[in-house]
Amino acid sequence: MTVQPPLIRTAAPHSLTPAQLDPTKIMVRDVNVFYGDKQALDAVSIDIPGKAVTAFIGPSGCGKSTFLRCINRMNDTIPGARVEGKIEIDGDDVNAKSVDPVILRAKVGMVFQKPNPFPKTIFENVAYGPRIHGLSSSKEELEGIVEASLKKAGLWNEVSDRLHQPGTGLSGGQQQRLVIARAIAVEPEVILMDEPCSALDPIATAKIEELIDDLRQQYCIVIVTHSMAQAARVSQRTAFFHLGKLVEVGSTEEIFTNPRETRTQDYITGRFG
């Protein structure tokens, strides 16, 4: 009385179905980047959702920072850099002739690896951006913007009584939050972070990660990180880059429990030869 053994049915892949995420904020198709003759990025295509954190991981020199800098056209400042392909934010091509990089960089803010506040007062650091973009029409309005930005960056309580002291006098973690406040002050829609915590101690790192968690309710955040643990903690989507190519992209849960590509698995488990 044997019965036909039923077919093995395996569990559905655990990924955030696209319906759960915001629609695509940044659409990238077939981007190639060259530094002179050397190709740094090869046919990268990816959809980055809004109001979520997307992490780029990969070994050194794999092109993740280069790709990040394409999004706000910071590669324009490097002589000999050439960007091909389409990068669209909300449907508008970033590299179009009609797009002024200055306006773009207000819309797409950037936080760098080593905290780099301006050598000015804390107030001036945050106020500079709104001022040059004409976002405020009076002194009170400007002060309001500064206060709001510092609050959002979780720094207000620590610096409200010393706004006119130099920004460089803060600790590393505070400086990085100041830089984030500076980026927020110009009302961005996307915030790019290039290894924001690599120069910080674990507690400062945790505070920044908490801030990122907060900020993703409002902004599209793209973070490049060397720490896979951080990518795992902080992001909803993860993309793995290797030798200029985008190897795999998926939900963070999927990438870290059951990635599709062997290369991805080798990288995240520390098996890279």
Partner 1 sequence: MTDAAPTKPDRSAHLKKRYAAEFRFKLYGRIAIVIALAFLTLLMGRIVLQGYSTFTTHTVSLPVYLDPQKIDATALEGANYDYLVALSLLKKLGETEDEYGTNSGEAMDLVSRDLGFQILNRLKADPSLIGKTVTITGPMKADADLYYKGELKRATDEADRKLNNRQLDWLDTLQKDGSVKGGFNVAFFQNADSTEPEQAGILGAVIGSAMMLLITALIAVPMGVLAAVWLEEFAPKNRWTDLIEVNINNLAAVPSIVYGLLGLAVVINWLGAPRGAPITGGIVLALMSLPTIIIATRSALKAVPPSIREAALGVGASRTQTVFHHVLPQAMPGVMTGTILSLAHALGETAPLLMIGMIAFNPGIPEGFTSSASVLPVQVFIWENASERAFHERTAAAIIVLLAFMIAMNAAAVILRRRFERRW
Partner 2 sequence: MNGHIVKSYEEELNQLAAEVVRMGGLAEAQVNDAIGAFARRDVPLAQAIVGKDEKLDIAEVEIERAAIRLIALRQPMANDLRRAMSAMKIAMNLERCGDLAKNIAKRTLILAEAEPAGPVTRSIERMGKLVAGRLKEVLDAYTASEVDRAVAVWTRDTEVDEHYESLFRELLTYMMGDPRTITAGAHLLFVAKNLERIGDHATNIAEIVHYEITGQEIVSERPKMDALSQ
In the bound state with partner 2, the residue whose beta carbon lies nearer, of 124 and 254, is: 254
Of 206, 204, 193, whose CA–CA distance to 110 is shortest?
A: 193
Q: How far is the CB of 13 from partner 2 (least distance, A)?
A: 8
Instruction: Note whether 185 and 149 are within 8 A (CB).
Output: yes
Site string for partner 1, 128-147 (x = CB under 8 A): xx--xx--------------
In the bound state with partner 2, the residue whose beta carbon lies nearer, of 88 and 266, is: 266
Alpha-carbon torsion 50, 100, 82, 180, what sign? negative
Burial class (CB in 10 A: 0-12, 13-18, 19+), 54: buried
Count of other CB atoms within 10 angstroms of residue 138:
8
Largest CA distance in the chain: 88
Binds partner 1 by CB under 8 A, chosen from 2, 77, 98, 217? 77
Q: Which two three-digit tokens encode residue 273? A: 């030869």
Instruction: Note whether 135 and 188 are within 8 A (CB).
Output: no
Q: How far is the CB of 179 from partner 1 (least distance, A)?
A: 7
Q: Quick one: what does residue 112 bind among partner 2, partner 1, none, with the CB cut-off 5 to 8 Å set by partner type?
A: partner 1
110 belongs to the binding site for partner 1 (CB under 8 A): yes
Q: Which residue stretch of 51-59, 204-212, 235-243, 254-262 sits at the interface with partner 2 (rule: CB under 8 A)?
A: 254-262
In the bound state with partner 2, the residue whose beta carbon lies nearer, of 19 and 229, is: 229
Site string for partner 1, 206-245 (x = CB under 8 A): ----------------------------------------
Q: Rule CB under 8 A: which of 222-241 touch partner 2?
A: 228-229, 232
Rg (CA), the chain: 21
Q: Which residue stretch of 4-12, 37-45, 131-139, 160-168 sits at the interface with partner 2 (rule: CB under 8 A)?
A: 4-12
Q: Total binding residues for partner 1 by CB under 8 A?
A: 27
Q: Which two three-digit tokens encode residue 249? A: 């992209």
- H helix or E strand, kind and range, residue 253: helix 252-257
Q: Which two three-digit tokens encode residue 23? A: 């629609």
Of 66, 113, 57, whose CA–CA distance to 228 is shortest?
A: 57
Backbone phi and psi for residue 251, each to the nearest 5 degrees, phi listed first: -70, 150
Q: How far is the CB of 129 from partner 1 (least distance, A)?
A: 4
Alpha-helix residue ranges (DSSP H) falling in 88-217: 101-107, 122-132, 139-152, 156-159, 172-185, 202-215
Count of other CB atoms within 10 angstroms of residue 192:
26
In the bound state with partner 1, the residue whose beta carbon lies nearer, of 175 and 264, is: 175
Q: Which residue stretch of 14-22, 139-147, 177-185, 246-254 sits at the interface with partner 1 (rule: CB under 8 A)?
A: 177-185
In the bound state with partner 1, the residue whose beta carbon lies nearer, of 117 and 259, is: 117
Which chain residues interact with partner 2 by CB under 8 A?
1-3, 5-11, 13, 228-229, 232, 256-259, 262, 265-266, 268-273
Which chain residues interact with partner 1 by CB under 8 A?
72, 74, 77, 79, 102-106, 109-110, 112, 114, 116-119, 128-129, 132-133, 166, 168, 179, 182-183, 186
